[in-house]
């Protein structure tokens, strides 16, 4: 998730939510997510969303990114 375009004070003031395959459950709350090691189970479509901590700004949901493991 890249919120720099929303936040001139740095990305640390943003809270992130990652979603997998359209689920309402949060997959991760980090700005970046690393798969180590990656497995076929991790395949899917991921999107993220940001909310400013203590503020009122919200990002739009990102476009989905497809992860394929071969």
Beta pairing class for 65-67 and 44-52:
antiparallel
4: pLDDT confidence band, cut at 50, 70 and 90? low
Strand order in the sheet with 44-52: 14-20, 44-52, 65-67
The whole-model pTM stands at 0.73
Structure confidence by residue, pLDDT tens digits, 40-61: 999 999 999 899 888 788 888 8
Name the helix (H) or strand (E) containing 52. Answer: strand 44-52
Which residues are CB-neighbours of 41 under 8 A, at least 6 positions away? none
DSSP state of 61: P
Structure confidence by residue, pLDDT tens digits, 17-45: 999 998 988 888 888 888 899 999 999 99
């Amino acid at each position: 998730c890249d919120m720099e375009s929303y936040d001139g004070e740095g990305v640390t003031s943003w809270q992130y939510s990652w979603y997998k395959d359209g689920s309402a459950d949060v997959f991760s709350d980090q700005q970046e997510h690393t798969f180590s090691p990656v497995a076929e189970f991790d395949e899917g479509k991921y999107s993220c969303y940001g909310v400013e901590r203590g503020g009122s700004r919200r990002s739009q949901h990102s476009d989905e990114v497809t992860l394929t493991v071969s």
